[in-house]
Amino acid sequence: MSPIDLLVNSTIRPDVRAVASYHVADASGFIKLDAMENPYHLPHHLREDLAQRLADVALNRYPAAAYSTIKQRIIDKLGVPAGYDVILGNGSDELISILCMACAMQDRRATVVAPTPSFVMYQRSAQFAGMDYVGVPLKADLTLDLPAMLDAIAKHKPALVFLSYPNNPTGNLFTEEDIVAIIKALDGFGLAVVDEAYEPFAQQTFMNRLPEFPNLVVMRTVSKLGLAGIRLGYMSAAPQLLAEFDKVRPPYNINVLTQVAAEFALDHVEVLNQQAAALRAARADLTAALAVMPGVEVFPSAANFILIRVPDSDASHAKLLSHKVLIKNVSKMHSVLANCLRITVSTPEENSTFLDAFAASQAA
């Protein structure tokens, strides 16, 4: 064994060495339908205004530590209840990490529970924080197995339960009644984290129910709204909880360019909302087009992507790549996703290109 291998083995945790890095596919030259991004740019005149604002940013200074201006815009524009504040993160990934670090006990192994398959960072953040992770499989139709979730909560007394609403990668909304049942089952010992990353497309939220449930945390991101490049997430909860989470948040975790860009975008949030409405309409059209294709099963989606099942996902994915169309092959994530592909809803032009390439791949 080489000296560097000995060094790695003696300093890096075995469970870290055993996992692969989070992989992001190179999309150069492809129609990119693999990452649930908004395909639309801001209008030209807004981009010019934004460029001027960014040019005036004091890059030589640290960001404002409290982020009061951007937080107030989020509260005013995005439906945070009166009397509630938000914490900002470098994307929702950092918020998930903050929650896990704040809830990981030193005197015992705390547990995270989540439906599976779901967003991979729930498990990764739990692992890296030193928590146990319990994944509760979805039913065969990809709906939530509530009895199994309640059994896991009763058995493991988790500190955190993550609920993606709608779920990624399946796209479906778990029922409001099931989520309320989970929140109530955690009362007194655990937090229910409702991750509303796709709220602009689902138009369903638990944000307004924060005052009703002291153990509820609602987390969102502006990535899916059309600002994936600036990496900004936010979460709200009871003020006493937020005060504790804020102790874990790194100082200056939101850079000045992100702060100014987000403030500007939220001043023009109606443009982003119009783009979300266009994508919801395109989702319906794309769903209908896929549903009539032989051998294709289309699952209901409340997000900006659609999950489908095909006879051979590996072959379909490879043929789409040959047509320079990049989607996500999720078939290896979990057994309930066998032969499943996830397609981001895009512009009418890109959706049409995908449909043509996909039809050709199924006919071949």
Whether residue 49 is contained in a domain is answered as no
pLDDT digits (tens, 9 = 90+) for 320-343: 999 999 999 999 999 999 999 999
Same domain, 217 and 115: yes
Same domain, 357 and 210: no
The number of folded domains in the chain is 2
Whether residue 125 is contained in a domain is answered as yes
* Regions of the chain short of the pLDDT cut 70: 364
Domain termination site, one of 229, 252, 268: 268
Whether residue 177 is contained in a domain is answered as yes
pLDDT digits (tens, 9 = 90+) for 129-177: 999 999 999 999 999 999 999 999 999 999 999 999 999 999 999 999 9
Q: Can you tell me the distance from the alpha carbon of 18 to that of 317, in angstroms, rounded to the nearest whole number?
A: 27
Same domain, 134 and 196: yes
pLDDT the model gives residue 64? 82
Residue 274 structural domain? 3-43+269-363
Same domain, 81 and 25: no
Assign residue 138 the CATH number of its domain: 3.40.640.10
Helix (H, G, I), strand (E, B) or coil at 221: strand
Whether residue 51 is contained in a domain is answered as no
pLDDT digits (tens, 9 = 90+) for 95-113: 999 999 999 998 889 999 9
Same domain, 127 and 226: yes
Domain termination site, one of 268, 302, 330: 268
Same domain, 259 and 326: no
Same domain, 143 and 288: no
Whether residue 173 is contained in a domain is answered as yes
Assign residue 15 the CATH number of its domain: 3.90.1150.10
pLDDT the model gives residue 147? 98
Structure tokens at 209: 């129910």
Same domain, 224 and 247: yes
Same domain, 189 and 84: yes
Same domain, 264 and 274: no
Q: What is the pTM of this model?
A: 0.95
Same domain, 275 and 294: yes
Q: Can you tell me the distance from the alpha carbon of 165 to that of 118, in angstroms, rounded to the nearest whole number?
A: 10
Same domain, 264 and 277: no
pLDDT the model gives residue 26? 82
Domain termination site, one of 233, 268, 303: 268
Whether residue 245 is contained in a domain is answered as yes
Whether residue 50 is contained in a domain is answered as no
Whether residue 53 is contained in a domain is answered as no
Going through the chain in order, the beta strands assigned E by DSSP cover: 31-32, 87-89, 111-116, 132-137, 160-164, 191-195, 216-221, 233-236, 297-298, 305-309, 325-326, 328-329, 340-344
Q: What are the φ and ψ backbone dihedral angles of 51, each rounded to 5 degrees? A: -60, -40
Mean pLDDT, all residues of the chain: 95
- pLDDT-above-70 percentage for the chain: 100
Is the peptide bond prior to 211 cis by the omega test (within 30 degrees of 0)? no
